[in-house]
Chain A
Amino acid sequence: MISARNTVARLSPLLACLGLLAVWQVAALWLDTESFPTAWHALQTVPQVLGDPEQLLNILDSIRRMVIGFSLAVLISIPLGLAMGRSARVSAFFNPLLMMIYPVPKAALMPIIMLWLGVGDASKTLVIFLGVSLPVIYHSFQGAKAVEEKMLWSGAAMGLNGLQRMLRIVLPAALPEILTGCRTGLVLALITMVTSEMIARQSGAGNILFNAMDMAQYDTVFAMIIIIGALGIVLDAAFDKLRWRLVKWAEPHQEILLGAS
């Protein structure tokens, strides 16, 4: 009984995908314009796009930039967020500045950063870094703030120094929250990646998407939408699996997904 229910639960996202594609198909058939291809047609174009070595290299380029930007952001943001959560001074110092930066669209900084660093990898990676770091800082901050004082006192009483307490008590206790932040960051990284490449049309998945749009190759446009969407869903699912392994012990946590930058 439980396993049957599990299979249904596992298959339901797949069913949802199929349902969405079916709606698309019907809508396209009903509208019947050249600029809006059917789902079936777009799906057929996907292997064509991926089969072209140049385009495939472009997409891999994007993924490489995303991975570098994301990893750097996570490495720097988690310690900062934890420090902010544990020390009122550090949080009073950084909080207002971060609040100011939060509503700035990071990809909109692209034109300015391009002036300084050129259109190459550096500026795109920097923009991804900026986009990912804020939610990760914010969630690490929240997680570290919510750590129970009693545990820290016990740790101190048992002779752990500040750094050890940070690593052995605060970090594990804040981990579920941190991973929620990382998941948000992952979605943001993907979005920033696409937008930054759209602004600096030089290489990458966003470049293919918007160039095809400008040249009215609507099949390629929709095929790229499918590819980027699939990338988002696969990365998110993979991350969720990792998270589940790392924090199996924690309560199922509220997961709010941010979706923009």
Chain B
Amino acid sequence: MSAQRLTAVLMGALPILVVLAVWHALCSFDFAPPSLLPPPGKVFLRLAQQLGSVGFLDDILATMIRLFAGFLIAVVLGVGIGLAAAVVPAINAVVRPLVQVLAPLPKVALYPALIILFGFDHASKITLVTLDALFPILLSTYYGASMVEQKLVWSALAAGTPRWQILFKVIAPAALPSILTGCRIGLVIACIVVFLAEMISSTDGLGHLLVGAARTFQTVDMFVPLITISLLGLTLNGLLYGLRKYLLRGFPEV
């Protein structure tokens, strides 16, 4: 089993190494001029350098504040509205058509309107992140909660659980795997959107670094924020996976 896992890990590492090797080869054999494609060694060295500088860490912090604020608001709203819509038919009747209209809307197109309404600062970016991360969380919460087996509810009622506690003691835990899947999708989206919003209009953050570097043709500095946001996304995804494993211990399959 462990030997199998080892081969799987090695197999997975292979294409990443191949990409890095091709990248390196392209640079060292002069196929690509370094102004267009800097060698990977230089990019990672620059990343390590930047991680030591205060300015860069401030940018990361700004991005993370927006990311977390937007994502957390989306989780609270998404889970709340999703559960409410699954339990109360009247709320469902209102929420359903609204979601049908709003979910396929490209939210980035709303960004100019958000800037006009909330200004250039944190608020407009956090709102955009919330809007984009909200719908996957809401939809998966809703589906998870409406798939809960009726038998579980009946058993809980028969065992003497008060009606108002059913939501928290039966439905929410039973919908948890689905909710966490939605959160995971929402998190990836939040990473992507916060970066885009910062690229469009910002004075700090990783997206702003990329645009600034692009304007002055500092190719090395263009790669650094991209790799940083990718690493940030991977780390957060890993943390969420750990949380999921912890929360869902005892569930039949994760």
Q: Are A229 and B16 in contact (CB under 8 A)?
A: no
Instruction: Report the minimum CB–CB distance from B147 to chain A (whole Å).
Output: 8
* A184→B62 CA distance, assembly (Å): 29
Q: Are A36 and B15 in contact (CB under 8 A)?
A: no
* A235→B105 CA distance, assembly (Å): 10
Interface string of A204-233 (1 = CB under 8 A from B): 001001100100001001101100110011
Q: Are A96 and B15 in contact (CB under 8 A)?
A: yes
Sorting the interface of chain B by its residue count into under 10, 10 to 19, 20 to 34 or 35 or more gives 35 or more
CB contact between A232 and one of B105, B116, B195 (< 8 Å): that residue = B105
Q: Are B223 and A103 in contact (CB under 8 A)?
A: no
Please, which residues of chain B bring their CB within 8 A of the CB of A106?
Answer: 192
* A194→B111 CA distance, assembly (Å): 11
Q: Are A97 and B19 in contact (CB under 8 A)?
A: yes
* A29→B132 CA distance, assembly (Å): 27
- A82 touches B (CB below 8 Å): no
* A140→B109 CA distance, assembly (Å): 29
CB contact between B188 and one of A19, A92, A102, A256 (< 8 Å): that residue = A102
- A242 touches B (CB below 8 Å): no
Interface string of B96-124 (1 = CB under 8 A from A): 11101111111111101101110000000
* A82→B194 CA distance, assembly (Å): 32
- B86 touches A (CB below 8 Å): no
Please, which residues of chain B bring their CB within 8 A of the CB of A102?
Answer: 188, 233
* A35→B116 CA distance, assembly (Å): 7
* A228→B101 CA distance, assembly (Å): 13
By beta carbon, the residue of chain A nearest B98 is A16
Please, which residues of chain B bring their CB within 8 A of the CB of A210?
Answer: 112, 200
Q: Are A96 and B132 in contact (CB under 8 A)?
A: no
CB contact between A225 and one of B12, B112, B200, B226 (< 8 Å): that residue = B112
Q: Are A254 and B140 in contact (CB under 8 A)?
A: yes
* A12→B103 CA distance, assembly (Å): 15
Please, which residues of chain A bring their CB within 8 A of the CB of B115?
Answer: 213
Please, which residues of chain B bring their CB within 8 A of the CB of A51?
Answer: none
- B161 touches A (CB below 8 Å): no
| Interface stretch (choices B50-58, B152-160, B162-170, B207-215) | B207-215
- A17 touches B (CB below 8 Å): yes
- A56 touches B (CB below 8 Å): no
CB contact between B191 and one of A103, A191, A258 (< 8 Å): that residue = A103
Q: Are A103 and B109 in contact (CB under 8 A)?
A: no
- A250 touches B (CB below 8 Å): no
CB contact between A99 and one of B113, B193, B234 (< 8 Å): that residue = B234
By beta carbon, the residue of chain A nearest B107 is A259
CB contact between A260 and one of B107, B113, B226, B233 (< 8 Å): that residue = B107
Please, which residues of chain A bring their CB within 8 A of the CB of B139?
Answer: 254-257
- B176 touches A (CB below 8 Å): no
- A100 touches B (CB below 8 Å): yes
Q: Are A225 and B104 in contact (CB under 8 A)?
A: no
* A257→B107 CA distance, assembly (Å): 12
Q: Are A103 and B192 in contact (CB under 8 A)?
A: yes
Please, which residues of chain B bring their CB within 8 A of the CB of A88?
Answer: 8
Q: Are B189 and A97 in contact (CB under 8 A)?
A: no
Instruction: Report the minimum CB–CB distance from A12 to chain B (whole Å).
Output: 4
B residues apposed to A, CB below 8 Å: 7-8, 11-16, 19, 36-37, 93, 96-98, 100-110, 112-113, 115-117, 132, 135-136, 139-140, 143, 181-182, 185, 188-189, 191-193, 195-196, 199-200, 207, 210-211, 214, 217, 219, 222-223, 226, 229-230, 232-234, 237
Top 3 nearest A-B pairs (CB, nearest first) are: A103-B233, A236-B104, A96-B12
